[in-house]
Structure 1
Amino acid sequence: MKLIYVIVRNVDSSRVMEGLNKQGFYVTKLASTGGFLREGNTTLMIGTEEEKVEEVISVVKKECGPRQQIISNPVGPAEYTSMQVLVNVGGATIFVMDVDRFEKI
């Protein structure tokens, strides 16, 4: 048995959860913070058999793959002007851990 932690942007979390649910995976959602753009993150916990780990990762890649976004970056001491910057967003951070025991009550 494996426990998979998937950390995604809040805006991607619904698509990832729906994609995993369609494939029959149960997902627990936890609110979390951090990231380059100081936006909210979501941490998803998925328990599954070892042979299905790659299927989970494949769904995550499909639903929240990396992409580019234009953001306004304030410039100058008074921050009255801004410059648009192209940044990479999306993607996920994934941790796969062994589980010694699992019970569903």
Structure 2
Amino acid sequence: MSSPILPFTEANSKRVASLFRQALRTAFDSTLKFDAYRAQTLKIRQQFEANKHISDPVELEKVIAKTEAKLTETKHPDPYITPCRPGGTKYQRNIELPKEDVVPGDW
């Protein structure tokens, strides 16, 4: 078992920031309307702000584990993918033509 990450360290800050971004993406996948998404982001920010004072490493690990479990539970089955990213609707739509002859032979 790995040792708990101490609070107020760079590693802890990156871990919490990653969870925050993941929570925002999950909220966006669930609510594509901006006003509903904005309400969700304010709620998420409020929840993260409420726990930013935690200095006990054991309690911090419990809160982080609870957050990770909630994120996996609420993960959207069909997340939004930007069209030009891998898996998007426009990804590799205009593929380059092959450099060699398409039909072999001397015409």
TM bracket, shorter-chain basis: 0.3 to 0.5
Give the number of the structure whose alpha-carbon radius of gyration is greater.
Answer: 2
Q: Which has the higher strand share?
A: 1
Normalised by the length of structure 2, the TM-score is 0.34
TM-score, normalised to structure 1, is 0.34
Higher relative contact order structure (alpha carbons within 8 Å, sequence separation ≥ 6): 1
